Structure 1
């Protein structure tokens, strides 16, 4: 009796990497011990970027992403295919971030405090690097209520359409637009010194495009 042909080293991994996210999730549900690891490998960088920009703290972001992937691993059977797997993952990550912010009971900064902070700030010089601008934007985002921050991160920093962000946040598109508008209005006075150098959308869209392409 002939022995079954040997599978070349790495062939199984190559075959797995060619599967769609939805197929990998089905294989994970079916008991494939490596399928979910492939999903994590594909999307962890983007999920990390969302968490880091939403929370503004590397340790908190790492914990949120870990919590989110553990939750996704356990709740894979709840995925109904009504949205892309990436949208489903984003939703879990954003919810993990919002839960962390709400548990900390961070008080949103009032509008008059934002104005006072802007008046105290010294304008940065024109040679400010994109990294420094990004750090300032991240710090300013911490002043927003969680819902506005999450909407701005997805739309202005990660480059998602309002419709895609609405799917992630599970709210109407109009709500996303409203949250973004209110968030931008609150950030305007504190980031006004960046206006001649760059702006939130320009800094974020370039980074968002890089993440989507990568």
Structure 2
């Protein structure tokens, strides 16, 4: 979206209120606004692009069906993150303990970099993806919501159903574990 379009676009609260009244175009705007972020979160949590796509479809179907349950229209983004995180956690619980990694969930290095550098970046991303899969699902969700999506500890707590202290603890443990695994890349 261009800067001019963002300046004139209605805020989340306005759009959520319109969706509650059955406005399909407002719903489409919210989907366009958040589908990328929800997909990135799901892809990183699940390490499976196809499953992430399915989860994101479920997220927006759930949001459409349950918009009347949203208490505060200003909290739409947090509510969407909560739906996404919970659906991902449910999917992870249904899996076998040792999940296969999908290398397609890592972004490709830029084509204009040197081949050696590109190979190193790709290896680092693969190592990070593998390291994320070694975290508990709850740690992974908290770490991704904080480090990748920039959510506050309080927002993450609301999303995952924990208090801010528990969220900080999960993120701290995730950081320690990730730092150990990623030590060779420093």
Relative to the length of structure 1, the TM-score reads 0.69
User: Structure 1 residue runs of 4+, over 6 Å off?
Assistant: none
- Structure 1 residues 159 and 28, CA gap change in structure 2 (3 angstroms): closer
Point out where structure 1 has 5 or more consecutive residues left out of the alignment. Answer: 1-13, 109-124, 196-214
TM-superposed deviation, 1:87: 0.7
Q: Is the 8 A contact 2:17 2:73 kept in 1?
A: no
| Aligned pair partner of 1:160 in 148, 151, 154 | 151
Q: Which residue of 2 aligns with 1:25?
A: 16
Q: Runs of 5+ in structure 2 lacking a partner?
A: 100-115
CA distance in 1: counterparts of 2:14 and 2:117, whole angstroms: 49
Q: Given that residues 131 and 178 in structure 2 are in contact (C-alpha distance below 8 angstroms), is that contact kept between their aligned partners in structure 1? A: yes
Q: Deviation at 1:129? A: 4.5
Q: When the two structures are superposed, what TM-score results if normalisation uses the length of structure 2?
A: 0.78
Q: What's 1:72 paired with?
A: 63
> Do 2:146 and 2:153's aligned partners in 1 also have CA atoms closer than 8 Å?
yes
Q: Does the C-alpha gap of structure 1 residues 158 and 29 become closer, same or farther in structure 2, counting only changes over 3 Å?
A: closer
Task: State the aligned residue count.
Answer: 164
Shift of 1:24: 1.4
Change (3 A) 1:82 1:23: closer
- 2:166 is aligned to 175
Q: For residues 117-196 of structure 1, what are the structure 2 equivalents within 5 Å?
A: 129-195=120-186
CA distance in 1, matches of 2:22, 2:73: 22
Counterpart in the other structure of 1:55: 46
For residues 82 and 36 of structure 1, the distance between their equivalents in structure 2, rounded to whole angstroms, comes to: 13
Deviations 1:80-124 (A, max 9, x none): 00762111101101111101000114269xxxxxxxxxxxxxxxx
Q: CA deviation at 1:193?
A: 0.7
Deviation string for 1:119-144 (max 9, x for gaps)?
A: xxxxxx87755444223211211111
Structure whose alpha-carbon radius of gyration is higher: 1
Between 171-180 and 158-167, the greater mean CA deviation after superposition: 158-167
- The range that moved more, 21-30 or 37-46, is 21-30
Root-mean-square deviation (CA), in Å? 2.3
